[in-house]
Amino acid sequence: MKRRQFIQTAGVGLAASAVAAPAIAQSSPEVKWRLTSSFPKSLDTIYGGAEYMAKQVAEMTEGKFQIQVFSAGEIVPALQALDATQNGTVEACHTVSYYYVGKDPTFAIAASVPFGLNARQQNSWLFQAGGNELFNEFYKKYNVVGAPCGNTGTQMGGWFRKEIKTSADLSGLKMRIGGIAGQVLQKLGSVPQQIGGGDIYPALEKGTIDAAEWVGPYDDEKLGFNKVAPYYYYPGWWEGGPTVHAFFNQEKFNALPKHYQAILLNACTAANTWMQARYDMQNPGALKRLVGAGVQLRPFPQEVMEACLKASNELYAEISAKNEDFKKAINAMIAYRNEEYLWFQVAEFTYDNFMIRARARG
């Protein structure tokens, strides 16, 4: 009797499995996407963020959701990644939203603006204080969904062919710089140029530009900027903690099963952490090598910083007067920044300053 009962029970279980299996298969379809990056493969960390995200998606779906990553220029040029996603040429892209200030200056705030948030504050604002929701409401106008998918930490101020001693030295300077920061420098007489990463070196070498900023020591060393410009300035006051975004075509994202959407967004969050941690690991050694090779490492003079801050605040007021989306976002960012620095100065800065002095003492 027990044997017959076991066989009957097992038969019911097998039948249930046969019914359940197709339902599971139907909810986890085979999906293949293409993602275009704004970065060359040689920049393994910023480009690698998209690869890391795609790998996580594949692993979490047992290979059923595949995202093929293409470097800048393989499908579209570096600065057309968002356009390709918006119009459905590709399903996704990995880029920095301030590249698209020509569409609307609000794009810049989602990534980084002059004298904005540092990396930790940026992540806090986006993930915990409504930033992602604010920007995804804005992105609907462009048929995309955005997700933070990387951060470089505070960037360097860039490479200059001549010294910068006062803000007057910025006048007439042709500099590769993206986003709102270019407009700030324009107020001080500079001539900003927006150039993709792979095209910066030849422009600097030929003298087409006088200065260029990119990310930080690890990437800058790879791109060889020290060979054509001797002065390396810091900090990149325009990028205190810039977010690199993954953008998804709105219709393609909405068509995904809900658990695929969740996997995709969680993979982006993992890549966001991976990228900053990797840059923090790589930059110290690269900076030592650059200085050892004769690079002139310089801080921007205080007068230059103050002039740039003044110009930034003037620009924000000017844009806000004619762009409600920008006004809403910049006011939210500034309010959050002011609260965050109240807190950061209590513990973080005190601890960091102590450790800097302790290291100097040996």
Sheet holding 65-70, edge to edge: 65-70, 31-37, 92-95, 243-249, 144-151
Q: How many angstroms separate the CA atoms of 144 and 136, rounded?
A: 8
Q: Is 239 annotated as a binding residue?
A: yes
- CA of 268: how far to CAs of 41, 63, 151, 265, in Å? 19, 17, 11, 5
Cβ neighbours of residue 25 closer than 8 Å, sequence gap 6 or more: none
For CA atoms 140, 141, 147, 148, give the dihedral sign.
Answer: negative
Q: How many angstroms separate the CA atoms of 282 and 45, rounded?
A: 9
Show the 3-state SS of 59-127. HHCCCCEEEEEECCCCCCCHHHHHHHHHCCCCCEEEECHHHHCCCCCHHHHHHCCCCCCCHHHHHHHHH
Q: Is 155 annotated as a binding residue?
A: yes
Q: Is 176 annotated as a binding residue?
A: yes
Strand partners, 36: 70, 93
Peptide bond into 284 cis (omega under 30): no
Cα 4 from chain centroid (whole Å): 63
The torsion angles phi and psi of 322, rounded to 5 degrees, stand at -125, 5
Tell me how crowded residue 258 is: count the other CB atoms within 10 A of its CB.
8
- CB-hemisphere CA count at 13 Å for 251? 6
Q: How many angstroms separate the CA atoms of 232 and 228, rounded?
A: 11
- CA of 2: how far to CAs of 57, 139, 230, 291, 350, in Å? 46, 63, 86, 80, 73
Residue written as tokens 């930080």?
216
Q: Can you say which residues are annotated as belonging to the binding site? A: 155, 176, 213-214, 239
Q: Can you say which residues are annotated as belonging to the binding site for Na(+)? A: 214
Q: Can you say which residues are annotated as belonging to the binding site for substrate? A: 155, 176, 213, 239
